[in-house]
Chains A and B, each alone.
Chain A
C-alpha cells in the first residue's frame, strides 16, 4: 500500500493505492493521524487506486473522520472502485461519508 499526501489550500489530498486490509490498515491510520496532529482538519482520501479494502480499512477511515469532525472539519472520499463502493454500501458508510466520483469534485467540495 502506498500513501501520498498533497497539501493544498483548504484541504489535504491523501492518495492511497494498493490493498488496505488487516495487515496494513494501521499504517493508513497512523498516517492520517500524523496529518491531523499537524493541524489538518479537511481531508480527501482518494481511493481510485485502491483495489481492495476490508473492514480494517473502514475502521481507520471512520476513526479519522471522527477526529476531524470534532475539530470542525471533514474527511471525504473520492473515486472508489465498484468493489470498494459495495463494501462501503454494505457497511452502511455511504451515508456517513461524502463520496465523490472524482478527486477534483471532492477537493472542490470544501
Chain B
C-alpha cells in the first residue's frame, strides 16, 4: 500500500536540510536501512543543489517540490522544478583519472546521484522538469505493530511472511495486516514460513485462502513451506494440500518464484 508525502520549499541552499530530513523519514517509513536512507538524503541534496544552480540559475528564483512515494522496501522520490531545462545527457560521467585536470567538478553531483540510487530518470514537460529517483532495499524488514509476524522483502515482488505460534482468532489479525501490506495492487509472490506455527484454526485457514485468491487475482501466488506435521495434517484433512503449493524449504519456494519469472 503506497503512501505519498509532499513538501515544497523555496529554491535556497539553506532549505535543503529540511528536504533531506523529510526524505530520510520517508526512506525509514519504507523500511530502508540507515545506509539506504543516507543515499536517498545525499542524492536529494545533490539534486536540489543542481536545480538551484542550473535550472534556476541561483537562489530565490523558484520553488522545488519533493514527493516521496513510500512502499514496503521502496522509496520513490520525485523532484519538480519550474526552471530551465537542465539536460543531464550533456553532463558526462566524470573520468576517474590520475590527472586531476580530467575531473569535471560540475558533474560530480549527478554522478553521486546515479551511484547512490537504483534509478535516476528525467522528464521534461512544458513548464515542469521532473526528476525521479528510486531506492529499494534488497532485504527490507518491515516492522509490524504486533511482534508475532515478521515480514521481509526478499527481492522485487517476493515477500516472506513468518507468523509465530498459534494462528487462532486473536493472532490472525496481525497476519491479516501483514498480508494486506504485501498484497497491494501489484503482482506478488508471497511465501509463508510456517516453521514456527504450532496450530492453525479455521480462521487462519480462511485468511490463507482469501489471501491466496487476492494474490492470484493480480497474477501472483501465495505458497507455504516448513509446516510441522500437526499443522500439515490439518491442511490435509480440509483438502488444502491440493489447493496450495507447499514446499519443504525456503529455497524451494524461492526457486519456484524464479521459475515464474520473479
Contacts and interface: CB of A to CB of B under 8 A. Distances in A.
Nearest to A91: B108
A79 B103 CA distance: 23
Nearest to A24: B13
Given A21-B49, A95-B96, A96-B100, 6 more contacts: A19-B17, A21-B13, A21-B17, A22-B16, A23-B13, A92-B94
Interface of B: 13-14, 16-17, 38, 42, 45-46, 49, 52-53, 94, 96, 98, 100-101, 103, 105, 108-109, 111-112, 115-116
B100 A22 contact: no
18 contacts: A21-B13, A21-B16, A22-B16, A54-B49, A54-B109, A54-B112, A55-B49, A55-B109, A58-B108, A62-B103, A63-B105, A66-B100, A69-B100, A87-B42, A87-B112, A90-B112, A91-B111, A92-B111
Interface string A12-46: 00000001011100000000000000000000000
A92 B98 CA distance: 10
A90 B115 contact: yes
B52 A22 contact: yes
Contacts of B14: 23
Contacts of B111: 90-92
Interface size class of A (residues with CB under 8 A): 20 to 34
A22 B16 CA distance: 9
Contacts of B52: 22
B32 to A, nearest CB: 15
Contacts of B42: 54, 87
A54 B45 contact: yes
A56 interface: yes
A54 B112 CA distance: 9
Q: Report, nearest first, the 7 A-B pairs whose CB atoms are least far apart.
A: A92-B96, A23-B13, A55-B109, A22-B49, A55-B108, A59-B105, A22-B13
